[in-house]
Amino acid sequence: MSSEVDPSIAYEALYASAWADLVRLRQAAPTRDWLLPEATPVLAYGAWATARIVVAALNPSEDEFQTRDQPRRALPADRQRLLPWPADGQLTPARLAEARRLAEGYFRLGHAYWAWFGRYRPLLAALGWTFEAGHACGTNWASPYTTMVGWGAVRSAAARRVLAAQGGPLWRHLLDALPQVEIVLGQGGGWRTVPPLFGFAPSAWIAVPAAWDAKGGAAAGPRPHLLYHPIHLNGRSVLLAWWRPNRGGALTWLDAAEAARLGHALRALACGEAPNLL
């Protein structure tokens, strides 16, 4: 993607491409039975054009489009966080504009999913940034499409493969379109799968040992928890960091003080310094 492409044009082109793919995926095996009917694509939550840090989870939560009461139903109009899927499935200019308004205003319009994003507040405070002021935005590294259940509960491995095969490259193109990003912080098993998107092997991650690596016991998986690798996005030097544990919440197992310490560590790594977290 050329550095001369207007970010808004690039973003809207990516959104239109994701929409067209979702139309197809909603009708095709093996994905059709796993996609949330109310959901439109989610490229970014928040002010992507000014974000200096991008956080990345697997895929959008069903809570972005549905109530939590049982039986679940589509969020009413006065509580919508993102554009719901229209009955005719068409992306019109008006709907594209509304999708952008809701997504870019996600943290300012009063309905953000703070049960997830609120856990990043101490980390962002350590960096001097906030979601509300446009310093940070959220993304999804596995897929921009919302599944009926959490990604790990999608029992079709084929469905996950199809969604990720489309979602990973789209996420990479989105990052290239974000003009101010300095740090990308992912979470979960993507540490194994995303490196080829940036031209390095999973074995090339640089591990950062820390006192918090003792957390999680046998459920923690590989340690250290924190990995990083320098990358280039559209000619810009960017820090790609990864928090490997993913057990039901952002920054799994970190308390507020530890999240703040992680924020300071990311700043140091972005400046080419090696933090001591032991």
How much is the pLDDT for 219? 80
How much is the pLDDT for 1? 45
Distance CA 14, CA 22 (A): 12
Res. 5: pLDDT tops 90 = no
Where do runs of H (alpha helix) occur along the chain? 7-25, 93-104, 114-117, 121-127, 157-177, 190-193, 256-270
Res. 2: pLDDT tops 80 = no
26-39: per-residue pLDDT in tens?
A: 999 999 999 999 99
- Tokens found for residue 208: 């950062």
pLDDT, averaged across the chain: 95
Query: Candidates 1.10.3470, 2.40.50, 3.40.470, 3.40.190; correct CATH number of 7-270?
Result: 3.40.470
Instruction: Let me know: does 25 contact 39? Beta carbons within 8 Å.
Output: no
How much is the pLDDT for 150? 93
- Tokens found for residue 193: 């799968």
Contacts of 204 (CB under 8 A, 6+ apart): 195, 229
216-268: per-residue pLDDT in tens?
A: 988 888 999 999 999 999 889 999 999 999 987 999 999 999 999 999 999 99
How much is the pLDDT for 35? 98
How much is the pLDDT for 4? 65
83-137: per-residue pLDDT in tens?
A: 999 999 999 999 999 999 999 999 999 999 999 999 999 999 999 999 999 999 9
What Rg, from alpha-carbon coordinates, does the chain have? 18
